[in-house]
A and B are shown apart, each in its own frame.
Chain A
Amino acid sequence: MTAADILESARPLLDVEHLTMRFGGLVAIDDVSFAAAPKDITAIIGPNGAGKTTVFNCLTGFYRPSVGRLTLRRNGQEHLLERMEGHDIAQAGVARTFQNIRLFSQMSALENLIVAQHNKLMRASGYTAFGLMGMQAYSEVEAQAVELARYWLERIELVDRADDDAGNLAYGQQRRLEIARAMCTEPALLCLDEPAAGLNPRESVELEELLLFIREQHGVGILLIEHDMSVVMEISDHIVVLDYGQKIAEGTPQEIRDDPAVIRAYLGEEGSAGAERGGGA
């Protein structure tokens, strides 16, 4: 390891500094700063309307922040996300899933995963020209893309449904497929918007295993919005708590569990702190 590598690994994957988002007079996010370390699972929690999804939308280029700087570090390069278009952010290494699943429902599961490797394949197909001529080089890259897709399909246990329309899969399968699709873009940071919503307890456990696998085996940092506190407390390394657009606490799951400000936000001003610990959402 060179000194630069050590320096690199010590610096956070994602830096959010003074992020503020205003819609007209409404301040959805008010001066929020936090950092996500590489290979960490960072959870963003908070009551409904706290501004969690807005943070995601700023990060992934759907909104342009009013104030603030968002820095993604990858391979020694710094990407200033607040200045980039959504599709450039995705190419820089931020992948996301959506609160309401957004698969390409009339395309097959396999196609969903192939589309996610669009930019790689576009380059290989010579921006379509080589592909139209049926060049060997392109078919090889396409075969690799199918292999990557198959790898993820095996991981999410959907290989035998590969050629079925994504819209015909069961809800939990669609959730997993959306995560696999995001992973097929080969990101550095994976942003998951309520991945456990609507899952039964068994599926939630499978989801936890999948996320831990992604972190261990692929070294991808995960940013997680989640209401299911059992999932959050189980797998997060670091938790950021938002309320009314402001950051009210930050720390390890243990610290957050005992933080009076968090308990107040979830249970109200005079909440009985002892009884409902950690089960707030």
Chain B
Amino acid sequence: MTDIIARPLAGTRPFRLQGALKEAGLAAFVMFALSLALIAVRVEDVPGGLAIRWRPFDVIAAVVLVFLGRLGLAFLRNNRPAPVALASGLFSAVMALLLIVFVSGGGGVSWAQSLLPFSGFVVNVLVLIISLVLTLRAGLMWRRGERADAGTGVGDTMDRLAASVQGVAVYVIPVLLVAAIIFPFLPFADRRILDIAILVVTYVMLGWGLNIVVGLAGLLDLGYVAFYAVGAYAYALLATEMGIGFWLCLPFAGAMAALAGVLLGFPVLRLRGDYLAIVTLGFGEMIRIILLNWYEVTNGPDGISGIPRPTFFGLPFVRSPPEGVESFHSFFGLTYAPVDRIIFLYYVILAMALITNQFTLRIRKLPVGRAWEALREDETASRSLGINPRNTKLTAFGIGAMFGGFAGSFFATRQGFISPESFTFIESAVILAIVVLGGMGSQIGVVLAAVLLIGLPEMFRELQEFRMLAFGAAMVLIMIWRPRGLLAHREPTIRLFEKGAGKR
């Protein structure tokens, strides 16, 4: 009966199968043109040289699937969910069955492989996910007789989701925190997983640091990696030239990065928006080129190697410590395990990231934090209220840079070797992407985005060269559905009434 309610709307715009077919055909053609270059031909390393492998079936599968998917969307847009729900549901079921057979091993693997549309396992999983999403949407529409108006429903749902995530944050955050703390001792956390986790947490910290500049103060900084580099080189040079330890160097490296931030900020912060972005981009490159060419100090493109590892209150993580020094495992009476050092590094970066987070949360509720947000909202009005825009922006820039510097010294001590190659523009872009995708100013959003952008690509190494393509596609999708970021929801820094009370 619900269909009857929806019919009049559908009746005003008659469904033209011809138009839908044309649209789907066009999409399929685009897919065909793209896949000719990307999928059809593959150069492979074979013994004795390179060989070309043709993959015509993958192309056909891609084109057919795009055609059907687009046709399904056209049906949905014209309020005909039933056939879409049935067809995509059937398809999903078959796909899921085939994938299960494939994964479970045994005799069915070869025929499952021959029936699956693509040769790559991950691609098949992605197809299944897309098909499930389509089924779900069509199914929901069918049941409610609801019209799908270009994505607005999705946006609303996500907004409510973001708000409710903020609401249950009280419960979720301790759980996440405990998970992060016991993570190294979980059974699946081997050395590779731990390395990925350290990388992710490093980026979470960088994201939180940049969030102060971009999310709170609204200053688009495309050269954040410069401060990361300053911190890394400050530690590397102090440690290798003067033999100062990691913990002593850490504040100094942060101060150096903050100084670099203030020095850069002083002349450029009168610029706004795009102009500021371009200048900071230039500054990021300048630092990298200085590091590359100032051979006497930075050792140029050869980089600095032999950077000392951090110690646990003076106890090094080595199997056989030098004369007169006790090592970590012998002090605590443990057997030596190389993974100890990795676990220790994980906790160091986790602690540093959490300090960054706490600092940001606190400073947001202080006058300077509110002034940052006010400047982001309206600089003219802020000035008319007696806020000094230049100084206020400088503090944001300096503090953001300081945390970049901290993360940089950690990077240097973890790698043991740094060179200018680690500090290219793409790093800045990734950190900025984490902040923007996570939702400007959202702390938990940054974690989510860092896991998505850093963790998943590391996991999905199987996709190989398409990794970056998938990365780009994910960015485009998120920008369409969540232009303000995955979890963009702002809580006031101060309330007159308890939440939920005081309203009529």
Interface residues of A (CB under 8 A from B): 60-62, 85-88, 90-91, 95-96, 98, 102-108, 110-111, 114-116, 118-119, 121-122, 125, 127-128, 131-132, 134, 142, 146, 149-150, 153, 159-160, 162-163, 181-182, 185
Contact = CB atoms under 8 A, between A and B. Distances in A.
A110 B496 contact: yes
B2 to A, nearest CB: 33
Contact of B386 (A90, A103, A110, A163): A90
Nearest to B503: A160
Contacts of B494: 108, 110-111, 114, 142, 146
21 contacts: A87-B387, A90-B384, A98-B381, A102-B378, A102-B380, A103-B381, A104-B373, A108-B492, A110-B494, A111-B494, A115-B374, A118-B387, A119-B386, A119-B387, A121-B367, A128-B395, A131-B362, A150-B496, A160-B503, A162-B497, A162-B502
Contact of A102 (B368, B381, B493, B497): B381
A163 B363 CA distance: 20
B147 interface: no
Q: Which of A108, A125, A159, A163 has the most CB of B within 10 A?
A: A163
Nearest to B377: A104
A60 B384 CA distance: 7
Nearest to B359: A132
Given A122-B367, A162-B497, A105 B377 contact: yes
Contacts of B160: none
A27 B448 CA distance: 56
Contacts of A149: 496
Given A114-B494, A125-B367, A182-B385, 5 more contacts: A87-B389, A122-B371, A128-B367, A132-B362, A163-B499
B377 A106 contact: yes
Contacts of B492: 107-108, 110-111, 163
Contacts of A118: 367, 370-371, 374, 385-387
A126 B362 CA distance: 15
Contacts of B382: 115
Contacts of A162: 495-497, 502
B364 to A, nearest CB: 11
A115 B502 CA distance: 22
Contacts of B495: 108, 110, 162-163
Interface string B365-405: 01110110110011011111111110000010000000000
Nearest to A132: B362
Q: Which of B378, B381, B499, B504 has the most CB of A within 10 A?
A: B381
Contact of B370 (A86, A95, A115, A185): A115
Contacts of A103: 377-378, 381
Q: Which of B362, B371, B374 has the most CB of A within 10 A?
A: B374
B366 A132 contact: yes
Nearest to B374: A115
Nearest to A167: B377
Contacts of B374: 104, 107, 115, 118
A142 B495 CA distance: 12
Interface string B473-501: 00000000000000000101111110100
B504 A115 contact: no
A104 B366 contact: no
A153 B499 CA distance: 18
B378 A146 contact: no
Interface of B: 359, 362-363, 366-368, 370-371, 373-374, 377-378, 380-389, 395, 490, 492-497, 499, 502-504
B371 A115 contact: yes
Contact of A87 (B366, B368, B388): B388
A182 B382 CA distance: 11
A86 B385 CA distance: 9
Nearest to B362: A132
B381 A91 contact: no
Contact of A111 (B362, B366, B368, B493): B493
A106 B215 CA distance: 13
A128 B363 contact: yes
B385 A181 contact: yes
B373 A107 contact: yes
A105 B377 CA distance: 7
Nearest to B373: A107
A162 B501 CA distance: 12
Nearest to A133: B362
A118 B389 CA distance: 12
A87 B379 CA distance: 11
A217 B386 CA distance: 23
When A and B form their complex, which 7 residue pairs have the shortest distance between CB atoms, in order from nearest? Answer: A90-B386, A104-B377, A121-B367, A162-B496, A102-B381, A108-B492, A131-B366
A67 B499 CA distance: 53
Nearest to B389: A87
B386 A107 contact: no
A105 B395 CA distance: 23
B58 to A, nearest CB: 47
Contacts of A87: 383, 385-389
Q: Which of B363, B380, B382, B497 has the most CB of A within 10 A?
A: B382
Contacts of A134: 362
Contacts of A102: 378, 380-381
B377 A159 contact: no
A58 B497 CA distance: 40
Contacts of A182: 384-385
A1 B370 CA distance: 41
A56 B368 CA distance: 27
Nearest to A61: B383
Q: Which of B385, B389, B490 has the most CB of A within 10 A?
A: B385
A108 B370 CA distance: 11
Contacts of B378: 102-104
Contacts of A150: 496
Contact of A185 (B377, B386, B504): B386
Given A98-B381, A104-B377, A185-B385, A160 B367 contact: no
Q: Which of B362, B383, B490, B499 has the most CB of A within 10 A?
A: B383
Given A108-B492, A159-B496, A163-B492, A95 B367 contact: no
Nearest to A98: B381
Contacts of A115: 370-371, 373-374, 382, 385, 387
Given A104-B377, A107-B374, A96 B367 contact: no
Contact of B496 (A121, A125, A142, A153): A153
B374 to A, nearest CB: 5
A71 B388 CA distance: 21
A222 to B, nearest CB: 16
Contacts of B384: 60, 86, 90, 95-96, 98, 182
A221 to B, nearest CB: 17
A213 B488 CA distance: 40
Contacts of A108: 492, 494-495
